[in-house]
Structure 1
Amino acid sequence: MFVVIFPILFGFAIAFTNYNLYHTPPAKLVDWVGFKNFINIFTLSIWRSTFFDVLQWTVVWTLLATTLQCTVGVLLAILVNQKDLRFKPMIRTIFILPWAVPGFVTILVFAGMFNDSFGVINNAILSFFGITPKAWLTDPFWTKTALIMMQTWLGFPFVFAMTTGVLQAIPDDLYEAATMDGASAFTRLRTITLPLVLYSIAPIIITQYTFNFNNFNIIYLFNNGGPAVAGSNAGGTDILVSWIYKLTMSSSQYAIAATITILLSIFVVGLALWQFRATKSFKNDDMA
């Protein structure tokens, strides 16, 4: 309990002080400044512009990356679950393989593949199709695009595996009754498969959104949150959690980092509670 509670309380207290590189005990005293750090984030241009830029990209990153990985995972699971499909075990094994490889290894491999100078993406794949090489590591737009593609690759196998388990638990009687009533394949998908699947994996989807909102590893390992942006305290692809890390480890802005951490925690907890209430997840009542 002490290991969990003390860091939380300490970080909370730091947010209300001027604890930074120039006010570090025991050489310098730390002063209590109240809500000054919170006010500075929203009023000082140097912090306000960076904070809202990073927050905007964090939200966009979370929505796009998570929605894509969940969509791909669910659709592939439905396609592979078709009765007339051959070699199902082999296909399922292939789709789950990316999940078996440690994430940091996959990210580092992709970092080499997306390298602007010698990466296989530019030098082999794009050149084969006559497409102009892209600045994957030096242009914020293309770096963000690469990150979203990588997270889709990293995340869809888990959703695929969970959805496959749900699909195999759906009774065949439901589909047979719907077929006898004249329901088409699309109608069965829309009225039986998708509602049952989405209801069952709703908690998983919510946790995936929360995870990607704080997905430090892929942002930091791929390009260290870069490329750099002129006039900004954060990199072009930094999300809130990676920006907090840089504020703490690189510039020793401990108080500002703690302040942003509190704001981030409030946002994540509030969003998670809203999603759980909206989807009625973890309730024992029937779907009806």
Structure 2
Amino acid sequence: MATDAKLTMQPERPSSFHRRRAALLSILVMGLGQIYNRQWWKGFSFLIAEIAFLIASFDFLNIGLWGIVTLGTEPFLDHSVLLLAQGIIAVILIIFGLGFYALNIRDAYRVGRMRDRGENPPTLRETYRMITDKGYPYLLVTPGLILLTFVVVFPILFTVAIAFTNYDLYHSPPAKLVDWVGFSNFVGMFQSPLWQNSFISVFSWTIVWTLVATTLQFALGLILAVLIHQKGVRFKKFFRTVLILPWAVPSFVSILVFSGMFDDNFGPVNTMLQNIGVGEIPWMTDPMWTRVALLLVQIWLGFPFSLALCAGVLQGISSDLYEAAEMDGATAFQKFRRITLPLVLYATAPVLITQYAFNFNNLNVIYLFNQGKPAVPGQSAGGTDILITWVYKLTFDTHKYNYAAAVTLIMSLVLMLVSLYQFRKTRAFQEEDLIQ
């Protein structure tokens, strides 16, 4: 008797009949689950959307999926690059369609679950209110997401795909077809002496260029900001204005002016060095001296931004910290090392990481100064080429699009890994005290 009483006291579980049937019908055809749930307008809307998508894009998807697999079969008739682009767009459209399809199934299951609990399905007016209330942020974000997909994601996927083909000057459609070659481009880049030497030289100089140029320009900006921030310094506004002037001049103008100043034969830099008895320096013909000149130019172009950034951070540091340090007998260097530097790095860490990433891909300085020259025997890259300028030359000078895409892929992976590591290590995005 006790057992029977316990069984009668247990609440009855809601049925799962409606939710399962609605989800199954929506899996078969979009909108059928909503029609089963008596949401007629919503159901017919999903149904019309599915029919319109299939009618409007069936031929495009069919040709695109065939093209991305085969890259064409007949020269002059099939354009491999266009087929590849169409195939990538087809894949993106399929992903969007599947997402909308999953939304249809989820909606039918959710309303079916309400019916299983004995609740009435939302009316058309209630659905409209729910969309405009809870779904309002998604309605605003969706157009930007679609635009971002085709403006940013599509070029990235296209570049990644080109890295696994043989697309170059000798395999250029429509006269020639492009074929999938797998990892042959990457293997050839590290096996061929010409490409191996070029890649090692360019990659090592890119790392040195990024670290040295960014670190020195930030260090110079920080030191100048600290000096100007001192209490006894007068005309602070004048000094800040004068030192920020290099940032106000367009960078390409400054780079072209410096290119003329460092000219081996007629440049004023060598003329001045001759007048003081030092002699000429091969700024444009010796790779080592050209790299030194590039670093000097980048430091000149980059330190004003660091100066303005650090000056703003220094304004926010409380003077009580320095007064307490003076009472403890701290020297000027100790105050800089224990207070100024940690707080400045804490506040500027995200921006500093972006500066490293910017210089890693800084095409302007390298290419406008001397186009990555001088030439180096046994290499396909110049003595001052970084990865981005080498990619530019491979694309527009030698038309080796496959190798350019492969180098771009390697470059992007290195940059993403380093940036991710730095962002994870820095505490700039964490709400915690720096000084413990």
Q: Partner letter of residue 302 of structure 2? A: G
Percent same amino acid among aligned pairs? 58
Secondary structure (helix, strand or coil) at the match of 1:237 reads coil
Report the equivalent of 2:329.
182
Q: How far is 1:190 from its partner?
A: 1.7
Does residue 1:235 correspond to 2:382, yes or no?
A: yes
Among 201, 211, 216, the alignment partner of 1:63 is 211
Report the equivalent of 1:77.
225
Q: How far is 1:3 from its partner?
A: 1.8
Among 20, 25, 33, the alignment partner of 2:181 is 33
Q: Partner letter of residue 172 of structure 2? A: T
Distance 2:331 2:263 in 1: 47
Worse-matched range after superposition: 154-163 or 2-11 = 2-11
Q: How far is 1:182 from its partner?
A: 2.4
Distance 1:260 1:80 in 2: 43
Among 221, 224, 247, the alignment partner of 2:371 is 224
Q: How far is 1:101 from its partner?
A: 0.5
Alignment of 1:1-288 (within 5 A): 1=148, 2-123=150-271, 125-287=272-434, 288=436
Q: How far is 1:278 from its partner?
A: 1.8
* Deviation per residue, 1:148-192 (Å, 9 max, x gap): 000000000000000000111111111122222222222222211
Q: How far is 1:280 from its partner?
A: 2.4
Q: How far is 1:215 from its partner?
A: 0.5
Worse-matched range after superposition: 3-12 or 98-107 = 3-12
**TM-score (norm: length of structure 1):** 0.97
Greater gyration radius? 2
Q: Partner letter of residue 201 of structure 1? A: T
* Deviation per residue, 1:212-257 (Å, 9 max, x gap): 1110000000000001111210011000000000000011100011
Length, aligned pairs only: 287
Distance 2:153 2:340 in 1: 43
Q: How far is 1:129 from its partner?
A: 2.1
Distance 2:352 2:173 in 1: 43
Secondary structure (helix, strand or coil) at the match of 1:178 reads helix
Q: How far is 1:198 from its partner?
A: 1.3
Worse-matched range after superposition: 127-136 or 81-90 = 127-136
Distance 2:158 2:336 in 1: 51
**TM-score (norm: length of structure 2):** 0.65
Distance 2:238 2:196 in 1: 51
Structure having greater relative contact order (Cα 8 Å, sep ≥ 6): 1
Distance 2:333 2:167 in 1: 60
Worse-matched range after superposition: 241-250 or 4-13 = 4-13
Q: How far is 1:108 from its partner?
A: 0.4
Distance 2:173 2:431 in 1: 52
Distance 1:211 1:241 in 2: 11
Q: Partner letter of residue 278 of structure 1? A: K
Distance 2:250 2:213 in 1: 19
Secondary structure (helix, strand or coil) at the match of 2:372 reads coil
Secondary structure (helix, strand or coil) at the match of 1:285 reads coil
Distance 2:156 2:339 in 1: 45
Distance 1:197 1:128 in 2: 42
* Unmatched tracts of structure 1, length 5 or more: none
Q: How far is 1:45 from its partner?
A: 1.2
* Unmatched tracts of structure 2, length 5 or more: 1-147
Q: How far is 1:200 from its partner?
A: 1.0
Q: How far is 1:286 from its partner?
A: 2.2
For the aligned residue pairs, the C-alpha RMSD in angstroms reads 1.0
